Structure 1
Amino acid sequence: MKLIVVPASRGYQWARQGLQMCINQPLGFVSLFGLVATLVMLLMALQILGLIAVVVAMPALWMSFMLAVRRVMANEKISPAVLIEPWRAPEDRIRWLQLGGLYAAGTLLVVVLSSFVGPDAEDMAKVLEASNENADLLSDTVMLESMAWRALLALPLSLAFWHTPALMFWGRIPPVKALFFSAVASWRNLGAFMVYGAVWMGVLVAMGLLVRAIDTLIPVPFVAQVITVFAGMWVASAFYASLYFTVVDCFEPRQEGLEGPGHPPADGPEDRDDNRSV
């Protein structure tokens, strides 16, 4: 498998392609994201065990959205089955648990480091006790500092794991080796990922302006709220859909590996190899 170094401008194309996917099947992607959000909320009811389960499952969830993109590219409807497709083979379940465990360990490390360099748990507890609404939390300097440190420390973790689900599932590469290849691919294409992140920041700013406009133009709070929630879910779905293009553009196609988005998907009935070649 050969790494491809793409120009920085490709980051814009990745974001645009993700948005286009969600334009092609908006209800499919929003429904998939809503189902995932519901499952996450149900697991979070289990408190610490639920939180661990959510973090461990994150790489497989990223893979599910990439599989959903493949469905759209094949002119098929998105099905909730993409959520369980990565787990079907017994050997894959073990690998997903291994990869999820590595991601959970990295996430825990980010939390611990952020408490050392930023506000500690005691400071955060005081803020949570003193705040009455979410707006108070978002305007508190301690909370903002904590969020900034966690985002900064989580960025290298995210980039290191970025390509691992596809490399492991489609490329059949062991989790640790996939993690190494993913980190190298992200570093070599850092310029494209910086543009990619900047584009999504611009989308979020535009989303905030749209929400304010909706609140101003629509006098019915319930209708405005529904539109706002749907728009937010659509943007989040577009981001996860764009993961596919960030992955397949960074590695040279090969028969047993990853193919670029210009290649036809191999998810039809004639391809029974567990959908592992893009």
Structure 2
Amino acid sequence: MKLHIVPARTGMAWVKLGIQAFWRQPLALVALFFMTMAAMSLATMIPLVGPAVALALLPSATLAMMVAAAEATQGRFPMPTVLLVAFRTGKQRLRDMLVLGALYAVGFLAVMGLSALLDGGQFAQVYLAGAPLTKEVAQDPAFQRAMYLAMALYLPLSLLFWHAPGLVHWHGVPPVKALFFSGVACVRNMGAFTVYGLGWLGVFLVGGVAVALVSTFLTLAGLDASVAGGIMVGAALILAAMFFTSVVFTFRDCFDAPLPPSPAPEPQTGDEPGPPPSDSN
């Protein structure tokens, strides 16, 4: 495993590659993303520990989308079985992914706990427990301070876990070392990740404006408001799936791929998923 330092313009290439890979298998990738979100939502219903369990599933869900994107890029149809990829590659990898999930849950809950010191837990209740976000709550200075603190603390947490699932799965790196290498890779390639973030911000803004215009036009044309709402939800789902599809390209360019790409787009017969895509930018 070797860390690569990439130029800042690579960040925009990651955005483009993610969008291109998504449109190779759009229905499959949207369905897989929806199923991962549904699984996490169902996990929140577990009494007492539901939110923590849902948080612990996020690294595995991210890995599933990375594997699905790699499959799509190599010409394969990503099957629903990729959702279980973190649990099908041996006891050691399974143990490491479970540890990674537990560390993420602890880190996220710690962020929420620190934010609660500023507003008595209002922001945490809205974010984790689904408490209603009223206008009065949103305008509360304490709530806003807690929100900004949580955002500031979540950034380094996300950098630590950005590459960690891929490092554990494809390179067999232990969880704590994976967090360290992920953080180093993101910091050393901060220029590319800044461009990457700005690029996706632009995509979401353009997509949001387009959907809002279409929804307004349909509403003025006399269609039911629920149709416009469905379009907005569907567009948000597609944009989110596109974003998660692009994550594998950030991993591919920051670290060596463990295996060469498959020579032909044939369905896999084994349980082990393919490596990150290695086509050039």
Q: TM-score, normalised by structure 1?
A: 0.86
Q: CA separation of 1:104/1:133 partners in 2, compared to 1, >3 Å: closer, same or farther? A: closer
Moved more, 235-244 or 195-204: 195-204
Shift of 1:108: 2.0
Give every structure 1 segment of 4 or more consecutive aligned residues whose post-TM-superposition deviation is greater than 6 Å. Answer: 125-128
Aligned to 1:109: 110
SS in 2 for 1:77: coil
Mapped partners of 2:240, 2:171: distance in 1: 26
Aligned to 1:238: 242
Gap regions ≥5 residues in structure 1: none
Contact 2:41 2:54 in 1 (8 A): no
Aligned to 2:37: 37
Q: Does 2:226 align with 1:222? A: yes
Mapped partners of 1:18, 1:86: distance in 2: 22
The amino acid of 2:65's aligned partner reads F
Q: Does 2:65 align with 1:65? A: yes
Structure 1 residues 111-135: Cα deviation after superposition (integer angstroms, max 9, x where no partner): 122233x4232x559999xxx9656
Gap regions ≥5 residues in structure 2: 277-281
The equivalent position to 2:273 in structure 1, one of 257, 272, 275, is 275
Aligned to 1:15: 15
Q: TM-score, normalised by structure 2?
A: 0.85
Q: Does 2:247 align with 1:248? A: no
Contact 1:98 1:175 in 2 (8 A): yes
Mapped partners of 2:160, 2:69: distance in 1: 22
Shift of 1:109: 2.0
Mapped partners of 1:60, 1:153: distance in 2: 22
The amino acid of 1:246's aligned partner reads T
- 1:1-278 equivalences in 2 (<5 Å): 1-88=1-88, 89-116=90-117, 118-121=118-121, 124=123, 134=133, 136=135, 139-142=138-141, 143-219=143-219, 220=223, 221-253=225-257, 257=258, 263-264=261-262, 272=270, 274-275=272-273, 277-278=275-276
Q: CA RMSD in A?
A: 2.7
Shift of 1:187: 0.9
Contact 1:72 1:78 in 2 (8 A): yes
Identity %: 35
Contact 1:6 1:250 in 2 (8 A): yes
Moved more, 231-240 or 87-96: 87-96
Mapped partners of 1:206, 1:138: distance in 2: 29
The number of residues matched between the two structures is: 267
Contact 2:93 2:169 in 1 (8 A): yes
Contact 1:25 1:72 in 2 (8 A): yes
